[in-house]
């Protein structure tokens, strides 16, 4: 359990006054600071930008609704249409499902706090939010690499594709992705929750993002940083390497297609997955492997919103736009 030592109430008041200025919130912080332990955390969020805060709220609300609607429609269509009971759409349904769970725990409290004006979260709520976010993000890292492998088999070995990627193998791959994501997230969450905080209960963030939580820690965290670095390398550069190799082999195979129209369609069908990979891995790599010289909590907030809200919203749109082209080109390649 996280151990919290109390600080003087005036210090917390001054910090929150600079970020929010709400007298009721200051009173609550003073009461918390005078107690033996802190059970509530306060989010600064985007309150430093009062002129655009309502715009950010509207954008978050729209992205959240589009994410839920788009991904639920994609899952429903995949289940109801027997023609889509293929490995590609099976993995895509898993991606849509985890995107719903990835964005909801982060954006729902943001929207609720904006309406209520509280900007708070309980300790248990913060721990749950951090774990779910890590688990879904880690699962997506592995799943995207497995989707690239699925496309490699479909393009480079189409005749054996139904045998290699049979139903049992697909279920095992998906289960492995989910287990890897959940277990690595559990390791990260437990390692962070073992640390002692210094009584500062104010996050300069809009969610319980793990890097924001570490900002409140006042003890030596070299071992935790090492654990996080190892897990980050396993979940970001290594899957990206697998994706890179898969696409290199796919490209080599596509270039052998004699028809110019066939090559063009084949390239376009890979564009959807590659676009999702660039959006997701690009922002995630910047967040977790960026040099300390460009470390900025304000930058982190906007980058986090990109891969927590923007990417899950765009995934179903990107794949839906490529749906008809993908089906026709797959037939072309097999022929």
Q: Mind listing the pLDDT tens digit for each residue in 204-244?
A: 777 788 877 887 777 778 888 888 888 888 888 888 888 88
Residue with more model confidence, 52 or 313: 313
- Give the helix ranges, DSSP H, for 217-259: 222-235, 237-254
**Looking at the predicted structure, is the pLDDT value of residue 202 above 90?**
no
**Looking at the predicted structure, is the pLDDT value of residue 126 above 90?**
no
**Looking at the predicted structure, is the pLDDT value of residue 64 above 80?**
yes
- Mean of the per-residue pLDDT values for the chain? 75
pLDDT at 300: 66
Burial of residue 316, with CB atoms counted within 10 A of its CB: 0-12 exposed, 13-18 middle, 19 or more buried:
buried
The average pLDDT across 156-172 equals: 92
Residue with more model confidence, 259 or 137: 137
Nearest to 311 by CA among 76, 145, 118, 144: 144
The whole-angstrom separation of Cα 244 and Cα 249 is 9
Contact indicator for 166, 82 with CB cutoff of 8 Å: no
pLDDT at 165: 93
Nearest to 270 by CA among 172, 166, 152, 181: 152
**Looking at the predicted structure, is the pLDDT value of residue 34 above 50?**
no
pLDDT at 164: 92
**Looking at the predicted structure, is the pLDDT value of residue 183 above 90?**
yes
**Which of these ranges, 14-23, 35-44, 74-83, 280-289, has the smallest mean pLDDT?**
14-23
The average pLDDT across 109-137 equals: 83
The whole-angstrom separation of Cα 157 and Cα 150 is 10
The rounded Cα 271 to chain-centroid distance in angstroms is: 20
The average pLDDT across 95-99 equals: 91
Predicted confidence band of residue 172 (pLDDT cuts 50, 70, 90):
very high
pLDDT at 261: 65
**Residue 177, C-beta contacts closer than 8 angstroms, at least 6 positions apart:** 94, 139, 142, 143, 146
**Looking at the predicted structure, is the pLDDT value of residue 139 above 60?**
yes
Residue with more model confidence, 6 or 127: 127
């Amino acid at each position: 359990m996280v151990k919290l030592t109390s600080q003087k109430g005036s210090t917390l008041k001054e910090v929150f006054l600079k970020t929010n200025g709400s007298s009721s919130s200051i009173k609550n912080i003073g009461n918390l600071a005078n107690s033996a332990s802190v059970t509530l955390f306060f989010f600064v969020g985007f309150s430093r930008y009062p002129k655009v805060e309502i715009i950010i709220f509207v954008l978050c609300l729209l992205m959240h609704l589009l994410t839920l609607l788009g991904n639920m429609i994609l899952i429903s269509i995949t289940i109801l249409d027997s023609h889509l009971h293929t490995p590609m759409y099976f993995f895509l349904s898993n991606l849509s499902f985890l995107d719903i769970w990835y964005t909801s725990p982060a954006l729902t409290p943001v929207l609720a706090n904006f309406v209520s004006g509280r900007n708070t979260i309980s300790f248990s709520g913060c721990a749950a939010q951090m774990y779910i976010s890590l688990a879904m993000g880690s699962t997506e890292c592995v799943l995207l690499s497995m989707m690239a492998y699925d496309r490699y088999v479909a393009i480079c070995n189409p005749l054996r594709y139904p045998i290699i990627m049979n139903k049992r193998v697909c279920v095992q791959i998906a289960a492995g992705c989910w287990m890897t994501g959940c277990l690595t997230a559990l390791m990260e969450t437990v390692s962070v929750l073992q640390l002692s905080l210094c009584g500062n209960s104010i996050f300069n963030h809009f969610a319980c993002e793990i890097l924001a939580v570490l900002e409140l820690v006042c003890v030596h965290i070299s071992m935790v940083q090492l654990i996080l670095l190892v897990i980050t390398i396993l979940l970001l550069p290594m899957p990206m390497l697998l994706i890179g190799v898969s696409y290199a082999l796919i490209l080599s195979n596509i270039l052998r297609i004699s028809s110019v129209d066939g090559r063009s369609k084949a390239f376009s069908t890979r564009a959807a997955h590659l676009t999702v990979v660039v959006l997701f891995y690009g922002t995630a790599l910047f967040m977790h492997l960026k040099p300390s010289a460009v470390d900025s909590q304000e930058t982190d907030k906007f980058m986090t919103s990109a891969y927590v809200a923007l990417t899950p919203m765009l995934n179903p749109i990107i794949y839906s736009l490529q749906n008809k082209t993908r089906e026709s080109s797959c037939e072309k390649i097999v022929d």
